C-alpha cells in the first residue's frame, strides 16, 4: 500500500498543479448551476429539491470526465514514461488503482464544491436531505464508472483525443439505454423482457433509482461491479502492453 499511496499522492497533486484541473472545476460548477437554474427551471418549478440539479449529471459527466481521464495512460504511453513506471517497485494493479482513485477523488472534490446549491435549496425550503445525500452518492458512483471506462480507453491508445471520443461514445450508449424513449423504441424490435434486460446495464437506470432516495443494494453493486470489472480490464490491457 506504500507504493499505492505514493502514486496516488503524485497523481492527485498533479491534477491540482495543472490549470486544466481548475478549468474543469470551474466549468463543472458553472455548467451545473446553469443547468439547474435555467435549463432545469429551478425557480419556476416552485419545489425545494435538487432533482433539476442531479438530472443533468449523466450528461455533464459525458464530456467532462473523459476530458479529465483521457490522459491517465495515453500520456504515459506517448511520452514513454510508462516504461519507467513499470521498472519501479510497484505492481500494475497498484498503479491502476492509484491513478484511478486519484482521478475519482479529483471529481469528488468538484462534486463537493457544489455544496452552495444544497445550502440554497435548504434556505428556500425544506427539502428531504436524505434524498439529496442518496443522489450525491449515486452521482459519485456514476462518476467512478465513467472514469473507469475512460481509464480503459486511455490504456488502449497513445492518442488522448481517440481515448476521449471512445469514452464519450461508450458512456453515451450506457446513458441512452436507460432512457424511457429508447427502451420504448427497442420494444418495437424485441421482446419487452430483452429491452428491460438491456436497460438494466444503463447508468441512467441505476442513477435514477438512487436519485429518488432509494439506496438499493442492487444499484450500489452495479456501479461497484462495473468499476471493479473495468479496472481488472485496465490491468490486463497494461500487462499485455508491458510484455509487447
- One DSSP character per residue, 94-116 reads HHHHHHHHHHHHHHHHHHHTTHH
Whether the pLDDT of residue 75 is over 90: the answer is no
* Percent of the chain whose predicted confidence (pLDDT) is above 70: 83
pLDDT for residue 44: 67
| Radius of gyration of the chain, Cα coordinates, nearest whole angstrom | 19
| pLDDT single digits (tens) 36-50 | 877 767 666 667 678
Whether the pLDDT of residue 177 is over 70: the answer is yes
pLDDT for residue 167: 94
Burial class (CB in 10 A: 0-12, 13-18, 19+), 142: buried
Q: Tell me the mean pLDDT in the region 4-28.
A: 86
Count CB-CB contacts under 10 A for residue 161. 10
Q: Tell me the mean pLDDT in the region 126-137.
A: 88
d(C-alpha 180, C-alpha 171), whole Å: 17
Asked if residue 202 lies in contact with residue 178, where contact means CB atoms within 8 angstroms, the answer is yes
Average pLDDT in the chain: 84
Name the band, by pLDDT with cuts 50, 70 and 90, for residue 189.
Answer: low
Name the band, by pLDDT with cuts 50, 70 and 90, for residue 230.
Answer: very high
Count CB-CB contacts under 10 A for residue 5. 11
The tally of CA atoms less than 13 A away on the side-chain side of residue 103 is 27
Containing structural domain, residue 144: 2-242
Whether the pLDDT of residue 238 is over 90: the answer is no
Question: What is the sign, positive or negative, of the torsion defined by CA atoms of 6, 20, 57, 198?
Answer: negative
Reported pTM = 0.89
Helix, strand, coil fractions of the chain, as percent rounded to 5: 80, 0, 20
Lookup: cell for 127 = 427539502
Q: Tell me the mean pLDDT in the region 219-230.
A: 94
Among 105-114, 203-212, 223-232, the minimum mean pLDDT is found in: 203-212
Name the band, by pLDDT with cuts 50, 70 and 90, for residue 150.
Answer: very high
Asked if residue 198 lies in contact with residue 186, where contact means CB atoms within 8 angstroms, the answer is yes
Question: What is the sign, positive or negative, of the torsion defined by CA atoms of 168, 169, 170, 176?
Answer: positive
The structural domain count of the chain equals 1
Choose between 45 and 55: higher pLDDT: 55
Amino acid at each position: 500500500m506504500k507504493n499505492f499511496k505514493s502514486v496516488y499522492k503524485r497523481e492527485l497533486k498533479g491534477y491540482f498543479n495543472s490549470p486544466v484541473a481548475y478549468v474543469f472545476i470551474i466549468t463543472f460548477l458553472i455548467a451545473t448551476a446553469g443547468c439547474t437554474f435555467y435549463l432545469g427551471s429551478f425557480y419556476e418549478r416552485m419545489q425545494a429539491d435538487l432533482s433539476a440539479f442531479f438530472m443533468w449529471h449523466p450528461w455533464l459527466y459525458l464530456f467532462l470526465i473523459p476530458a479529465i481521464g483521457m490522459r491517465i495512460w495515453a500520456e504515459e504511453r506517448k511520452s514513454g514514461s510508462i516504461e519507467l513506471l513499470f521498472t519501479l517497485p510497484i505492481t500494475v494493479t497498484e498503479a491502476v488503482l492509484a491513478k484511478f482513485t486519484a482521478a475519482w477523488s479529483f471529481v469528488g472534490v468538484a462534486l463537493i464544491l457544489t455544496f452552495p446549491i444544497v445550502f440554497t435549496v435548504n434556505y428556500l425550503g425544506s427539502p428531504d436531505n436524505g434524498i439529496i445525500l442518496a443522489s450525491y452518492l449515486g452521482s459519485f458512483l456514476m462518476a467512478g464508472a465513467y472514469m473507469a471506462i475512460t481509464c480503459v480507453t486511455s490504456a488502449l491508445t497513445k492518442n488522448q483525443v481517440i481515448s476521449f471520443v471512445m469514452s464519450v461514445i461508450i458512456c453515451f450508449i450506457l446513458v441512452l439505454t436507460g432512457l424511457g424513449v429508447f427502451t420504448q423504441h427497442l420494444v418495437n424490435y424485441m421482446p419487452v423482457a430483452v429491452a428491460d434486460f438491456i436497460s438494466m446495464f444503463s447508468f441512467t437506470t441505476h442513477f435514477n433509482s438512487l436519485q429518488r432516495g432509494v439506496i438499493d443494494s442492487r444499484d450500489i453493486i452495479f456501479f461497484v461491479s462495473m468499476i471493479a470489472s473495468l479496472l481488472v480490464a485496465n490491468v490486463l490491457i497494461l500487462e499485455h502492453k508491458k510484455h509487447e
